[in-house]
């Protein structure tokens, strides 16, 4: 396990049951229980739904392995008002991340007016391929 660092906001533990990944409509659920693991991990976290009788509660102050992914996300604005577009895009991303137990930690939020690049051999398009409009 990597070195321990202090974090004020720790994302909730995620249930390790594969059902959350494979069953459509079964969203992320916070995991409050520690279950025996396997050869690669001594324990796994599980939600109330997947808790078994011998599983133990995870302590509130126990270190948690947190994965941080630095990415650049681009969304087309839903309206031309910059302030509203920025707020709406951040909220949309936040909702999607929350659905999988993630937290959004903003580094920067910017906007640009972008001219779509014409694809080689094609002129400007008004709709998806095959769209007669
Ligand atoms: Zn679960």
pLDDT digits (tens, 9 = 90+) for 97-116: 988 889 999 999 999 998 88
What's the pLDDT tens digit per position in 35-60? Answer: 988 888 888 999 999 999 999 999 98
How far, in Å, from the CA of 47 to the mean position of ligand 1?
Answer: 4
Query: How many degrees, rounded to 5, is the angle at CA 17 between CA 12 and CA 101?
Result: 25
Q: Going by C-beta distance under 8 Å and a sequence separation of 6 or more, which residues neighbour residue 89? A: 75, 77, 78, 109
Ligand 1 center to 15 CA (angstroms): 5
Instruction: Please name the residue ranges forming H helices in 1-133.
Output: 19-22, 82-99
Please, which pLDDT band fits residue 63 given cuts at 50, 70 and 90?
Answer: confident
Whether the pTM exceeds 0.95: the reply is no
CA atoms of 130 and 133, how far apart (whole Å):
9
114 CA distance to ligand 1 centroid (A)?
42
Q: How far is the CA of 45 from the centre of ligand 1 (A)?
A: 8
Token pair for residue 21? 């990944």
């Amino acid at each position: 396990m990597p070195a321990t660092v202090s974090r004020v906001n720790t994302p909730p533990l995620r249930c390790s049951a594969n059902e959350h990944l494979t069953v459509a409509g079964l969203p992320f659920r916070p995991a409050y229980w520690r279950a025996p693991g396997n050869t690669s991990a001594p324990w796994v976290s599980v939600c109330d739904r997947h808790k078994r009788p011998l599983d133990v509660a995870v302590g509130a102050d126990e270190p948690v392995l947190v994965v941080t992914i630095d990415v650049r996300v681009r969304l087309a604005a839903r309206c031309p008002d910059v302030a509203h577009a920025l707020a709406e895009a951040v909220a949309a991303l936040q909702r999607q991340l929350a659905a999988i137990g993630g937290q959004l930690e903003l580094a920067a939020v910017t906007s640009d007016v972008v001219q779509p690049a014409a694809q080689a051999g094609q002129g400007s398009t008004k709709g998806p391929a095959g769209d007669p409009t």
